Structure 1
Amino acid sequence: MTYKGYLIDLDGTIYKGKNRIPAGERFIQRLQERNIPYVLVTNNSTRTPEKVQEMLSTQFNVHTPLDTIYTATMATIDYMNDLNRGKTVYVIGETGLKTAIAEAGYVEDTENPAYVVVGLDNDLTYEKLAVATLAIQKGAVFIGTNPDLNIPTERGLMPGAGAINKLLEAATRVQPVFIGKPNAIIMNKALDVLGVKR
């Protein structure tokens, strides 16, 4: 291992759905033993960093400090803060995404939000899509937490956040700004967290 630091994916690398990937677990343990910096970078916007940390510890034998976890949600908030277009947002997503955005000072607006943020939402409805479509048409910045069309699970490849974004893109004729991997936004932000240069 001659690299100064590592950015490590989670879904499909450290685990697959609820199934462990022991080689991934061992790799992180080796990095810890050698004091090589790493950041676990995940496109999953459904969990808070605390929930990711807890899940890794209890289900996958990976014990890692909270500051080594960087999610697409965190990168999304950093991106919105950088744009500085106001603190109103409409979010399609789950509790992890909504809570983090609210805690960052953003207020829900279903009429004229500055941003529409779209992540994975297991309770997706037509009404949510309609509200997002209208807001994007009015000029809200359209942000996709990640472009993943599918998510690897123990059941197989399931629809991902990217699939929801594709639907909204078709309905609005507006392309989202994707934050998550493999896009540069999350990787550059994760490098800042890691404290190394590319």
Structure 2
Amino acid sequence: MSELSYLTDMDGVLVHEDHMVPGADRFLAELIDNGIKFLVLTNNSIYTRRDLRARLTRTGLDVPEESIWTSALATAKFLDSQRPGGSAFVIGEAGLTTALHDAGYVLTDRDPDYVVLGETRTYSFTTITKAIRLIEGGAKFICTNPDVTGPSLEGSLPAAGAVAALIERATGRSPYYVGKPNPLMMRSALRALGAHSETTLMIGDRMDTDIHAGLEAGMRTILVLTGISSKESAERYPYRPTVVIDSIADLIGRTSDPFGNA
């Protein structure tokens, strides 16, 4: 397989919270040593690339900033393509606001073109109410990702998709989700990587986002069992990954041809 590239999810594949999945460091080192292009993807829009690089470094993974792609970056790229130099009311953290600023967007609560909802640990009734009224006033509704919960050391946390459902119920307006499983995020990552779907593999731990998005974007997919989906739960879906492996460590020594020309 020529010019092979990888897109890999982050949480559940390379890391669990603040701990590296065993073998993830050797897998990434092998990609770098072999000159194989890759991007680490995350639906989480809270953090900037610099933040995520620092988080990964603390777990023992050395990932360059330019090798990280987030739903916030994909959202900014999408909005820039739709309405260059537009305006947005944002519910989110630095990862999202920085990406939109870098795309030339003005962040405002006065007659914005878009309401953009992302992840935050401080959702407030006041800002959600403001978002509802702006959408009622004509702002288009965008959400970085559809995940309804996110992980924490204490258990599940409400995520952007859950708050989007609240706003949708109040306004009757459905958001456009940019992140996985929308293949738009995968295509934007492929463009950022300068890669083609036919020679790019998607590695993920979730059937409903990672594998779904990879398939929709025309890529071969690898499901790892170190995160959300299990062999049993994967069988419930009407689609299948190309291959199922126990862990990212199973790809060490096989990165140049993980399917053995199958």
TM-score by length of 1: 0.92
Q: Is the 8 A contact 1:87 1:107 kept in 2?
A: yes
In structure 2, C-alpha distance between the alignment counterparts of 1:193 and 1:109, rounded to whole Å:
28
SS of match in other structure, 1:143: strand
Question: 1:65 offset after TM fit, Å?
Answer: 1.9
* Matches for 1:34-183 after TM superposition, within 5 Å: 34-57=34-57, 59-84=58-83, 86-183=85-182
The root-mean-square deviation of aligned C-alpha atoms, in Å, is 1.8
TM-fit CA distance, 1:2: 7.6
Q: Any idea what the Cα deviations from partners look like across 1:149-189, whole Å, max 9, x if unmatched?
A: 11123222221111111111111111111111111111110
Query: Does 1-10 or 101-110 show the bigger shift?
Result: 1-10
Q: Which amino acid aligns with 1:27?
A: F
Q: What amino acid maps onto 1:17 in structure 2?
A: E
Contact 2:43/2:71 (<8 A) preserved: yes
Q: CA deviation digits over 1:58-114, x for unaligned, max 9? A: x22111222111111111110001111652110001122123322332222213110
CA 41–76 in structure 1, closer or farther in 2 if over 3 Å, else same:
same
Cα pair distance change 1:149/1:25, threshold 3 Å: farther
Give unpaired runs (5+ residues) of structure 1: none
Using the TM superposition, name which of 135-144 and 19-28 deviates more. Answer: 19-28
Distance in 2, matches of 1:2 and 1:182, equals 27
Cα separation, 2, equivalents of 1:127 and 1:157: 23
SS in 2 for 1:44: coil
Instruction: Say if 1:75 and 1:179, in contact at 8 Å, map to a contact too.
Output: yes
TM-fit CA distance, 1:133: 0.6
User: 2-side partners of 1:66 and 1:170: how far apart?
Assistant: 37
Q: Post-superposition shift, 1:146?
A: 0.7
Distance (whole Å) between structure 1 residues aligned to residue 106 and residue 67 of structure 2: 28
Q: Unmatched 5+ residue regions in structure 2?
A: 198-262
In 2, Cα distance between equivalents of 1:75 and 1:11? 18
Equivalenced residue count is 197
Q: Calculate the TM-score normalised by the size of structure 2.
A: 0.70
The percentage of aligned residue pairs carrying the same residue is: 36
Tell me the distance in 2 between the aligned counterparts of 1:167 and 1:86: 29
Larger radius of gyration: 2
Instruction: Tell me, yes or no, if the aligned pair for 2:147 and 2:162 is still in contact at 8 Å.
Output: yes
Provide the rounded CA distance (Å) in 2 between the counterparts of 1:53 and 1:179. 22
Cα offsets for 1:93-144 (capped at 9, x unmatched): 1122123322332222213110111011211111101111111112212111
Match of 2:151, SS state, is strand
Structure 1: distance between partners of 2:29 and 2:138 = 46
Stretches of 4+ moved more than 3 A in 1?
none
Q: Are 1:49 and 1:70, in contact at CA under 8 Å, matched by a contact in 2?
A: yes
2:31 alignment partner AA:
L
CA distance in 2, matches of 1:31, 1:189: 21
- 1:22 has 2:6 as partner: no
Query: CA, structure 1 residues 170+24, in 2 after alignment: closer, same or farther (shift >3 Å)?
Result: farther
